[in-house]
């Protein structure tokens, strides 16, 4: 909320206090001031009221004239050159004398007035137009000089006369629980308490009312929706521009002046926090207003010129014919105050905050009025506010006071809270005495009485009954005024050790980053197009979790895989001329459960009906490093072909498992076709084989499907993997040491020729199961043969953990292995 320093100073004496000091006090007193800005122009005197005595033509120019201006009775009239055409002798006008600072009327820049020669004639000052004085939206704004009232005294200071002083605007963060402080008076009360000066309440005086409007009635259909409703009838109003000070203050807080009536309702809304609405009473039908829910199919053309379809959730004000306003939110266009209006029905009421919020939400309207009703207005203050507005209307629009019609009750219950002073000790380790509590709280309208039992009985003012209802609320109120900074700092007693965090995520991060992949974090809220890779991935719509109120299509549905995000990340980097793009992400994927025991009307729904599972996924695009050590691959080291990248990706996965102490011997790979993110011929599903021989799927890896690569514009084949960390989490054994045997290891190479259709793993498994003395089997080379055959060379490591193996023993094992391979795979051997 914008708070005008000038306006504020009407209710608290701010002499000797700067706007920044007030801002600091408010900030440390729970009302954060985000910034302090200057409003209005920096206009300086001497700037006085003068009278035009003579107007003569300029000897050297047609469009400008010479004037003689008198600025006081004693001294001689001075000569001022003027180009405006609207001046006549006898007018009172603002005169800027040499030394004054006004504004350039074209661009608002500073204009310093001095004696000057204008076409050979000396001018001793300047007659001012409204823009030159920083008066922007004046209703009579024209090209000419500002003409003042004839009765104005010569020599009067124009800055004071027109209220041209600079104002400072404090931008106060509104607090959702403090509707009472969404007003100048509310913040003035806080400031008064914080700087320890008295609060001055706004004044009004009402004459006796006439009988105008005595037949009017108001009806509230449901007191829950509207506890209190008042309507003041006012006759004989003259619509016109607002007085300068009201217009200026409204502008200062960002409201556009409209006319005196509308401005006064806005002024009181801002001043007291009570929203109000003025109807042109002649336009209303039936001399009766009803507060009720809208009927289905009812409509209202609102003040902002929009047609609104209403429903029974919306609370409205209706005359005998139709809806004329949305209660607490916005009025209707038809009963708007216009230039022809002469009589008013001025509504001031208290509406249910939740109902106003609901109405505003449904219609998509937030107004200054709804903001305040939602936070709660003080029912006890409604009538005062109405009287204040009526007073101003009588004063500035010549309104004649008619009847005040009311319905409902504006009485508030007296509420008091018992406060134990020991609570300050318990919650903040400080001692606060009852007189301190009294001194801190009474400027805010609380009153305290001491009870005999070391407690205080505290009466809550009506305007604070919404946010202060419990002892703890009082404790907070006292502490913030006493000063949080004075609460002594200590530490909790060190009685607990934290349970260690499961470091799975960090193990994965370290393993993958050590292997050269960069970690990234990607949005989990994606577009439907990315979720399905532009319809290439079939999805079960029932299982998706999507948001009902997305701000953009980009963030609409929770992801079901980490892969599309990584593909987009590769494309993004590719477009930044990066070539080797290796990335991984650890994150959740989301799914609705199949069967939901939805109890939608339950009060405390605790089950979300969804699953969130943690995954890790990675992508490799660009070159792989050249592999050193044993390299069975076919490609020469410079070419880096795509099938190598598949096995490189497989290596990343196996290294990761190895870091997690999951033996690669327990992994199984199967060719897949149903996972549509991957190339069907170059992808695999990874399984974990437990000791009981059961398998669990851990995830997938392989080349990104060429169709997807094309849709996203991947330049090169990219390889990706995605693994389920929820399952991996359950598999990690803690390592236990196997004895390191000291007997020598015998190494033999074995070249096995088999037909192409036989997978490497079948060969390896037969070798492994054919000898108990084998401790390791490695594939060291692979090359194709003619006749649809291939040759696989393995390096076999034999060891007997108890004794040294003889050459004969090893040869016996080799024979066994060869025999098995021959009988099971028809393998042949070469030396």
Partner 1 sequence: MSVNELKEKLAQVEQEAFKDLESLDSMHLLENIRLKYLGQKGALTEVLRGLGQLSKEERPLFGQLANQIKEKIQEALEKQRLVLEQKELQAKLSTEKIDITLPAIGNKLGHVHPLTQISNEIISIFGGMGFTAVEGPEIETDYYNFDALNTPADHPARDSQDTFYTNIGPQILLRSHTSCVQLRALEKQKPPIRIISLGRVYRNEEVTARKYPLFHQTDGILIDQNVTFGQLKGVLNEFIRILFGRPLKTRFRPDFFPFTEPSAELDSECLFCSGSGCRTCGHRGWLELLGCGMVDPNVLAEANIDPEKYSGFAWGMGVERFAMLKYGINDIRHLYSSDLRFLEQF
Q: Which of residues 26-65 bind partner 1 (CB under 8 A)?
A: 27-30, 32, 34-35
Binder among 161, 199, 380, 487 for partner 1 (CB under 8 A): 487
CB of 723 to partner 1, least distance (A): 17
Q: Which residues contact 230 (CB under 8 A, 6 or more apart)?
A: 218, 347, 348, 349, 382, 383, 386, 404, 405, 406, 407, 410
Report the C-alpha gap between 567 and 712 in whole angstroms: 8
Is 97 one of the binding residues for partner 1 (CB under 8 A)? no
Spatial distance between the Cα atoms of 172 and 210, rounded to a whole number of angstroms: 42
Query: Among 56, 85, 222, 610, which residue sits at the site for partner 1 (rule: CB under 8 A)?
Result: 610
By CB under 8 A, what part of segment 523-542 binds partner 1?
A: 523-525
What Rg do the C-alpha atoms of the chain give, in angstroms?
A: 42
Residue of 61, 77, 118, 592 interacting with partner 1 (CB under 8 A): 592
Q: Does 472 bind partner 1 (CB under 8 A)?
A: yes
One residue of 239, 316, 350, 569 binding partner 1 per CB under 8 A: 569
Say whether residue 757 binds partner 1 (CB under 8 A).
no
What is d(CA 344, CA 330) in angstroms, rounded to the nearest whole number? 17
Residue among 234, 394, 581, 656 that touches partner 1 (CB under 8 A): 581
How far apart are the C-alpha atoms of 669 and 764, rounded to whole Å? 14
The least CB distance from residue 6 to partner 1, in Å, is 23
**691, burial (CB in 10 Å: exposed 0-12, middle 13-18, buried 19+):** exposed
Report if residue 504 touches partner 1, rule: CB under 8 A: no
Angle (nearest 5°) at CA 445 between 186 and 390: 50
With CB under 8 A, what is the number of residues at the site for partner 1?
102
Residue with Cβ nearer partner 1 (513 or 634) = 513
Cβ contact 679:709 at 8 Å: no
Structure-token pair, residue 500 = 């260690």
Task: Let me know how long the chain is.
Answer: 831
Q: Which stretch binds partner 1 (CB under 8 A): 74-82, 390-398, 433-441, 607-615?
A: 607-615
With CB under 8 A as the contact rule, the residue among 58, 105, 171, 358 that binds partner 1 is: 358
**According to DSSP H, which parts of 609-679 are helical?**
642-659
Contacts for 828 with CB less than 8 Å, ≥ 6 apart: 752, 753, 822
Nearest distance in Å: CB 503, partner 1: 9
Identify which of 656, 796, 793 has the alpha carbon closest to the alpha carbon of residue 732.
656
Binding mask 423-442 for partner 1 (x = CB under 8 A): ---xxxx-------------
The answer to whether the peptide bond before residue 797 is cis (omega within 30 degrees of 0) is no
Contact window for partner 1 (CB under 8 A) among 215-223, 279-287, 511-519, 750-758: 511-519
**What is the four-CA torsion angle of 646, 648, 651, 655, rounded to 10 degrees?**
-130
- For partner 1, the binding residue among 228, 446, 463, 590 (CB under 8 A) is 590
User: To the nearest whole angstrom, how small is the minimum distance from the Cβ of residue 536 to partner 1?
Assistant: 21
The four Cα atoms 190, 196, 197, 201 give a dihedral, to 10 degrees, of 30
Looking at the Cβ atoms of 277 and 375, the one nearer to partner 1 is 375
What is the closest distance, in whole angstroms, from the C-beta atom of residue 627 to partner 1 in the complex? 10
Using rule CB under 8 A, residue 555 touches partner 1: yes
* Rounded Cα–Cα distance for residues 431 and 437 (Å): 11
Q: Least distance (Å) from partner 1 to the CB of residue 563?
A: 13
Subset of 296-335 contacting partner 1 (CB under 8 A):
none
Q: Is 728 in the site for partner 1 (CB under 8 A)?
A: no
**Closest to partner 1 by CB, 153 or 425:** 425
**258 vs 505 by CB, closer to partner 1:** 505
Are the CB atoms for 92 and 149 separated by under 8 Å?
yes
User: Between 418 and 822, whose beta carbon lies closer to partner 1?
Assistant: 418
Pick from 273, 282, 308: which is nearest to 216 by CA?
A: 282
In whole angstroms, the minimum distance from the beta carbon of 174 to partner 1 comes to 9
Work out whether 812 is an interface residue with partner 1 (CB under 8 A): no
Q: If binding is defined by CB under 8 A, does position 499 make contact with partner 1?
A: yes
Say if CB 399 and CB 239 are below 8 A apart: no
How far apart are CB 733 and partner 1 at their closest, in Å?
23
Which of residues 494 and 681 has its CB atom nearest to partner 1 in the complex?
494
- Which of 239, 247, 284, 479 binds partner 1 (CB under 8 A)? It is 479
Q: Tell which one of 136, 138, 362, 545 touches partner 1 (CB under 8 A).
A: 545
Of 210-249, which residues contact partner 1 (CB under 8 A)? none
Q: For residues 365-404, which are near partner 1 according to CB under 8 A?
A: 374-375
Contact 338, 240 (CB under 8 A): no
Sign of the Cα torsion 243, 244, 249, 255 reads: positive
Nearer to partner 1, 395 or 466 (CB): 466
User: Is residue 737 classed exposed, middle or buried when 0-12, 13-18 and 19+ CB atoms within 10 A define those classes?
Assistant: exposed
Tell which positions 167-196 bind partner 1, by CB under 8 A. 175-178
The structure tokens listed for 303 are 């003040």
């Amino acid at each position: 909320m914008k708070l005008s320093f000038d306006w504020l100073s009407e209710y608290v004496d701010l002499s000797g206090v700067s706007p920044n000091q007030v801002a600091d006090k408010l900030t440390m007193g729970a009302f954060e001031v985000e910034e302090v800005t200057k409003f209005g122009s920096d206009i300086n005197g001497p700037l006085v009221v003068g009278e035009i005595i003579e107007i003569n033509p300029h000897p050297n120019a047609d469009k400008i004239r010479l004037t003689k201006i008198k600025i006081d009775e004693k001294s001689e009239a001075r000569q001022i050159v003027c180009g405006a055409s609207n001046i006549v002798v006898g007018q009172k006008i603002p005169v800027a004398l040499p030394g004054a600072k006004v504004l350039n009327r074209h661009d608002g820049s500073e204009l310093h007035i001095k004696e000057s020669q204008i076409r050979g004639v000396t001018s001793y000052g300047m007659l001012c137009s409204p823009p030159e004085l920083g008066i922007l939206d004046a209703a009579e704004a024209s090209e000419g000089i500002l003409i003042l009232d004839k009765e104005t005294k010569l020599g009067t200071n124009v800055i004071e006369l027109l209220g041209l002083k600079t104002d400072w605007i404090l931008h106060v963060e509104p607090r959702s629980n403090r509707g009472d402080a969404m007003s100048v008076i509310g913040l003035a009360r806080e400031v008064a308490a914080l700087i320890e000066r008295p609060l001055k309440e706004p004044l009004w005086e009402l004459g006796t009312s006439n009988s105008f409007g005595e037949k009017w009635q108001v009806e509230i259909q449901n007191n829950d929706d509207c506890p209190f409703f008042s309507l003041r009838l006012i006759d004989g109003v003259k619509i016109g521009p607002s007085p300068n000070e009201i217009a200026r203050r409204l502008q200062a807080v960002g409201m556009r002046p409209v006319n005196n009536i509308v401005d006064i309702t806005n002024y009181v809304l801002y001043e007291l926090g009570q929203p109000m609405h003025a109807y042109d009473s002649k336009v209303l039908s039936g001399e009766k207003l009803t507060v009720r829910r809208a009927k289905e199919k009812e409509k209202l053309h609102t003040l902002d010129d929009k047609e609104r379809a209403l429903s029974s959730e919306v609370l409205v004000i209706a005359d005998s014919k139709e809806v004329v306003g949305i209660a607490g939110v916005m009025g209707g266009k038809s009963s708007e105050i216009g230039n022809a209006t002469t009589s008013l029905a001025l509504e001031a009421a208290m509406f249910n905050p939740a109902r106003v919020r609901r109405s505003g939400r449904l219609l998509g309207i937030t107004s200054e009025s709804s903001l305040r009703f939602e936070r709660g207005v003080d029912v006890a203050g409604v009538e005062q506010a109405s009287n204040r507005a009526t007073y101003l209307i009588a004063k500035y629009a010549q309104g004649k006071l008619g009847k005040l019609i009311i319905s409902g009750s504006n009485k508030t219950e007296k509420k008091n809270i018992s406060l134990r002073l020991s609570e300050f000790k318990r919650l903040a380790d400080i001692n606060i005495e009852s007189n301190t509590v009294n001194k801190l709280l009474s400027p805010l309208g609380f009153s305290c009485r001491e009870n005999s039992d070391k407690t205080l009985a505290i009466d809550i003012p009506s305007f604070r009954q919404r946010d202060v209802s419990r002892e703890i609320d009082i404790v907070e109120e006292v502490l913030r005024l006493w000063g949080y900074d004075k609460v002594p700092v200590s530490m909790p007693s060190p009685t607990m050790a934290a349970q260690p965090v499961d470091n799975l995520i960090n193990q994965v991060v370290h393993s993958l980053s050590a292997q050269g992949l960069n970690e990234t974090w990607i949005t989990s809220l994606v577009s439907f197009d990315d979720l399905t890779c532009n319809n290439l991935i079939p999805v079960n719509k029932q299982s998706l979790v999507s948001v009902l109120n997305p701000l953009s299509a980009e963030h609409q549905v929770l992801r079901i895989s980490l892969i599309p995000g990584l593909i987009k990340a590769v494309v993004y980097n590719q477009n930044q001329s990066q070539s080797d793009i290796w990335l991984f992400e650890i994150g959740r994927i989301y799914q609705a459960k199949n069967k939901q025991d939805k109890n939608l009307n339950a009060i405390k729904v605790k089950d979300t009906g969804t699953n969130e599972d943690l995954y890790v996924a990675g992508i490799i695009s660009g070159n792989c490093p050249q592999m050193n050590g044993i390299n069975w691959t076919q490609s020469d080291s410079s070419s880096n072909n795509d099938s190598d990248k598949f096995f490189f990706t497989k290596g990343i996965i196996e290294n990761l498992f190895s870091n997690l102490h999951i033996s690669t011997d327990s992994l199984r790979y199967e060719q897949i076709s149903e996972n549509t993110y991957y190339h069907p011929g170059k992808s695999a599903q990874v399984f974990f084989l437990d000791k009981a021989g059961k398998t669990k799927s851990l995830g997938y890896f392989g080349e990104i499907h060429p169709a997807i690569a094309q849709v996203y514009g991947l330049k090169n084949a990219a390889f990706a993997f995605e693994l389920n960390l929820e399952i991996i989490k359950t598999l990690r054994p803690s390592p236990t040491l196997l004895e390191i045997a000291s007997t020598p290891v015998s190494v033999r190479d074995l070249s096995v020729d088999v037909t192409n259709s036989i997978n490497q793993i079948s060969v390896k498994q037969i070798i492994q199961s054919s000898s108990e003395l084998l401790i390791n089997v490695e594939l060291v080379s692979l090359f194709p043969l003619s006749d649809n055959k291939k040759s696989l060379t393995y390096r076999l490591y034999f060891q007997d953990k108890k004794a040294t193996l003889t050459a004969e023993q090893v040869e016996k094992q080799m024979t066994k292995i060869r025999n098995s391979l021959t009988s099971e795979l028809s393998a042949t051997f070469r030396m």
